[in-house]
Amino acid sequence: FQINMTQLQLDEELGKGNYGTVKKVLHRPTNVFMAMKEIPLELSPSKLDGIIMELDILHRAVAPEIVEFYGAFTIESCVYYCMEYMDAGSLDKVLGIKTIQQGGGWVGELGEGAPEDVLGRIASNMVRGLKFLKDKLQIMHRDVKPTNVLVNRKGQIKLCDFGVSGQLDNSIAKTNIGCQTYFAPERIQGTTAGADAEEAFNTYTVSSDVWSLGLSMIEIALGKYPYPPETYNNVFAQLQAIVHGEPPQLPESKPQSDVDPLEVHFSENARDWVRICLIKDPVKRATYADLLDHPFLVEDSQREVNMTAWVAGALGRRELQARLRQDLLDPEIANEP
Ligand code: ATP
Ligand code: MG
């Protein structure tokens, strides 16, 4: 069936990205909640139709690790894209990771980290999802990062926002590579050499997604982006560190903090798994098969992980945090009727 705007009842806003806004909507004919992404584009009607046609292959992207696609339509010069509503939101929100703009710069706010068994389950879902996209749809993701990993209260972990439409990708002004990039060193070098060089050298392939996966894992484990904006306080310094510095590592343990009273240890297997994702030479970097066969994910497949309990716990802590913050910001609110 075809989805259109008249069937949708708008609910709350779920978030804003660099290119659009995501809203919760109710699809009245089926009584299903969906997440609708609105992407404003200055394009001719025929170009918009081209994008809708390209998005159609998303109907084939059906896997347990991929957010379900329901349909897309255009109104005036906006593309609207309807997908499965994930009721716990993206991983960064579940973990309470935030990047705040302060003055001219960015300050990372510490979130909580995921314990190793949860990390293993997230890793396994992400690799399976990425491998599915590659093997079954012959596409790479291109935008692997915690905001594009969605979670629901059933404890499921799914990927969204992968690059299926070349025309859509080209039309979105990718102006801000800034703030926090998950781009692999070879992808940054391709970009700085000029947009066309990226295609020409063809060094930017599926293994670039593996780098982004490794970087995301450290962020999920520590509750903090691995190139902290406090240290790399401008985009240039950050890109320089990614291209020329040693790759970041998963440490042996994560100390306790205000938001995260637990000290967490990471096993040698977990640390090695992250290490092989973050090998700077894309040719030597791990493949999806390497990552699935690695003891870290073999262990994961052999143990029970109570993801539902973890999601419920983390969401409870976020709610508490939000309430505390609200009280601190405006103490009067608590007294109002
Ligand atoms: P970028 O624009 O760089 O991709 P982003 O991924 O944060 O950043 P969006 O994809 O526009 O931006 O999403 C905005 C926010 O909306 C996300 O961070 C996420 O919290 C929320 N969101 C997106 N899709 C869904 C969904 N299917 N279910 C629930 N929440 C969602
Ligand atoms: Mg996104």
* Contact (Cβ atoms closer than 8 angstroms) between residue 148 and residue 15: no
CA distance 111 to 119: 15
pLDDT of residue 102: 57
- pLDDT tens over the chain, length 337 residues: 789 999 999 999 999 988 889 999 999 999 999 999 999 998 899 999 999 999 999 999 999 999 999 999 999 989 999 999 999 999 999 999 986 655 555 566 689 999 999 999 999 999 999 999 999 999 999 999 999 999 999 999 999 999 888 888 888 765 555 567 899 999 888 765 555 544 544 457 899 999 999 999 999 999 999 998 778 878 889 999 999 999 999 999 988 877 777 788 999 999 999 999 999 999 999 999 999 999 999 999 999 999 999 999 999 999 998 888 887 777 665 555 5
> How far lies 283's CA from each of 77, 134, 211, 287, 288, in Å?
41, 17, 12, 9, 13
Pocket of ligand 1 (CB under 6 A): 14-20, 22, 35, 37, 67, 83-86, 89-90, 93, 143, 147-148, 150, 160-161
Q: Return the ligand 1 atom nearest residue 84 CA.
A: 27
pLDDT of residue 202: 46
154 is in an annotated binding site: no
Q: Which ligand is nearest to the CA of 161?
A: 2
Q: How many C-alpha atoms does 191 have within 13 Å on its Cβ side?
A: 15
**Using DSSP, how many helices (H) and how many strands (E) does the chain show?**
12, 12
Q: Return the ligand 1 atom nearest residue 20 CA.
A: 11
Q: CA-based diameter of the chain, in Å? A: 63
pLDDT of residue 168: 87
Q: Which ligand is nearest to the CA of 66?
A: 1
**Residue owning the nearest CA to atom 2 of ligand 1:** 17
In angstroms, what is the span from residue 15 Cα to ligand 2's centroid? 9
CA distance 140 to 162: 7
Whole-complex ipTM: 0.98
pLDDT of residue 201: 46
Active-site positions?
A: 143
Q: Which ligand is nearest to the CA of 93?
A: 1
Q: Return the ligand 1 atom nearest residue 85 CA.
A: 28
In angstroms, what is the span from residue 148 Cα to ligand 2's centroid? 5
Full DSSP string of 243-269: HHSPPP---SEE---SS----EE--HH
In angstroms, what is the span from residue 268 Cα to ligand 2's centroid? 31
* Contact (Cβ atoms closer than 8 angstroms) between residue 164 and residue 87: no
Q: What is the CA radius of gyration of the chain?
A: 20
Give me the sign of the Cα torsion angle 97, 103, 106, 107. negative
**Residue owning the nearest CA to atom 20 of ligand 1:** 90
In angstroms, what is the span from residue 6 Cα to ligand 1's centroid? 23
Q: Return the ligand 1 atom nearest residue 22 CA.
A: 16
**Residue owning the nearest CA to atom 30 of ligand 1:** 89
pLDDT of residue 198: 45
**Residue owning the nearest CA to atom 7 of ligand 1:** 17
In angstroms, what is the span from residue 37 Cα to ligand 1's centroid? 8
Q: Report the alpha-carbon angle 73-77-80, nearest 5.
A: 30
